Chains A and B, each alone.
Chain A
């Protein structure tokens, strides 16, 4: 009896140690796969930074070096002049900041009306707004191009800011957030004679700060990454935004183009995005996972 018991115990031990080995192998395979994938994901960034610091002869070596022999900071200075990055950076900051501030004001006011106020046709209007989100943006771009030409807005900052101030998605996002704030707070404020605007400023905005930060980041990233619209509505190079400078300044495909300088310009454009990502990751992910909309 006891003999048999120890035997099965031994068997169980054997089985569990067998399972342990399998588990370790599986885990090792998982890490190996994820590690290789992570390398593939990161490699372009590594190559971008490394190449931006190489001299042209070193970049062209048949056996590529994994780290620059001599660090060429001069590539960055050259990139700034070649792609006119200074001016384009200024344009992008102006457009980004102004459109973010105005967009936030408009979004907060509309979201407040939809979340807290009662008026005729509210639900119909909100549903109609959501329906416009299904239409691809290119359909709007065509008429908007005609409209801004008629307005005489070509080559002015206003054309880069005004057409995109209202985002139905942001209104929707903030409205959902406002709805979660208990109505009793609003009633109490009303009893105390607080005005709507003061209530909005003192209670609702502080309580929905994370959503507002998400909107700010997405909006700024939108200005930073916009390419098509500025190209369409500007004829002068110095009225364009930073991404335009990148592609337009280096369109030489002959293989003789100065790639290290090109990579320096690309790094300059990518670094701010990395910084935003590192410090504000959770806000970006929050916005992204609800939308699927890039930029």
Chain B
């Protein structure tokens, strides 16, 4: 490394980045913490020049005791707990199959990556259209393409997202959409991991004529475990921040007409902006704490189970 004669030059190069980071990254860390402990904070009072807010933990107490927040927490947990295992297992299965074929491998790989470069609001609206019962008023009209396809297999039409649909039907649609959306990234990472496993392990297993299942559980999974851990950890973090998939399918109301709220933690934070920044800050800190704890647990478990 060259000892630059003008050390101030480095700071000159860094100046724009540091200035912006101070305003939009460093300051928010302190200010959000501060707002969370200001009991009667609101942006209106702040703009009016008032800064003598009362200090206390009332915001946290209010958020935790508020039924709407509990519902958001339950929805978020439910979606995360359902989508992470399903999408990880499915992605693993697809990646292993992709790795075992030769012709068409690149084409299929491209197709499986396709959902990644989409707009989650836009494709959410496509899913909405597919599950939507168009002609629920007259029997001559469509019951929706998903119900039509299920009808081929003898399944009765289900009210997925229309007025009067059940909470679990709504959740099922969200799980299907979120898994569809989460597959590409997981397949990309897992397939990359599979392709980097040394072929010698498999050759050795072949000589010993080890059964396929044993090869999978004793060679593939352990050697893939760092990638699996990575995919699960990012999956959990993404799950706890779920928001736009729900907006895509159910709109800003975050619920089917007359149905139960499907709002999530992030949705709760955004709803509180505009007049209750203190509560929004408290909720954001709670979200951060949850993500932090879950990630630590994930890291702890994966450290015990992962083979590097």
Q: In residues 55-94 of chain B, which contact A (Cβ within 8 Å)?
A: 93-94
Which parts of B107-156 form the interface with A (CB within 8 Å)? 108, 110-123, 125-127, 129-130, 132-136, 139-143, 145, 148
Interface pair B188/A136, CB less than 8 Å apart: no
| Chain A hits for B244, CB < 8 A | 227-228
Contact with B along A28-71 (1 / 0, CB 8 A): 00110110011011101101100100000001111110000000
Chain A residues whose C-beta falls within 8 Å of the C-beta of B183 in the assembled complex: 41
Asked if residues A270 and B122 are in contact (CB atoms below 8 Å), the reply is yes
CB distance from A253 to the nearest CB of B (A): 5
Cβ-defined partner of B129 (8 Å) among A47, A164, A281: A47
**B280 at interface, CB cutoff 8 A:** yes
Interface code A140-164, partner B: CB below 8 Å = 1, 0 otherwise? 1111111101100000000000111
Q: Which residues of B contact A62 (CB under 8 A)?
A: 135, 139-143
B81 CB to nearest chain A CB (Å): 19
Residues of A contacting B210 with CB < 8 Å? Answer: none
Question: Interface with A: B216-224, B281-289, B298-306, which one?
Answer: B281-289
Q: Is there an interface contact between A138 and B266, defined as CB atoms closer than 8 Å? A: yes
A34 contacts B141, C-beta separation under 8 Å: no
* Contact of A139 with B32 at beta-carbon distance under 8 Å, contacts A144-B24, A149-B47 already known: yes
Q: Mark A243-285, 1 if CB is under 8 A from B, else 0.
A: 1001110110111000100110010011001101100010011
Chain B interface, number of residues (Cβ within 8 angstroms):
102
A288 in contact (CB, < 8 A): yes
CB of A270 within 8 A of CB of B123, answer yes
Most buried by A among B32, B127, B280: B32
Cβ B9 vs Cβ A44 within 8 A: no
Residue pair A34, B25 in contact (C-beta under 8 Å): no
Would B247 and A247 count as touching, CB distance under 8 A?
yes
**Cross-chain contact of A41 among B180, B270, B292 (Cβ < 8 A):** B180
Contact residues of A: prevailing secondary structure? helix
Decide: A119 and B11 in contact? CB cutoff 8 A: yes
Distance A135 CA – B132 CA, assembled complex (angstroms): 37
Judging by beta carbons under 8 Å apart, are A142 and B35 in contact?
yes
A253 to B123, CA, bound (A): 16
Which chain A residues have a beta carbon within 8 Å of chain B's beta carbons? 26-27, 30-31, 33-34, 37-38, 40-42, 44-45, 47-48, 51, 59-64, 105-107, 109-110, 112-114, 116-120, 122, 125, 129, 132, 134-147, 149-150, 162-166, 168, 171, 183, 186-187, 190, 196, 221, 224-225, 227-228, 232, 243, 246-248, 250-251, 253-255, 259, 262-263, 266, 269-270, 273-274, 276-277, 281, 284-285, 288-289, 292, 294
Listed in ascending order, the chain B residues whose CB lies under 8 Å from chain A are: 1-4, 7, 9-11, 13-14, 16-17, 20-21, 23-29, 31-32, 35, 43, 46-47, 93-94, 97-98, 100-101, 104, 108, 110-123, 125-127, 129-130, 132-136, 139-143, 145, 148, 161-163, 180, 183, 185, 188-189, 192, 230, 234, 237, 241, 243-244, 247-248, 250-253, 256-257, 266, 269-270, 273, 277, 280-281, 284-285, 287-288, 291-292
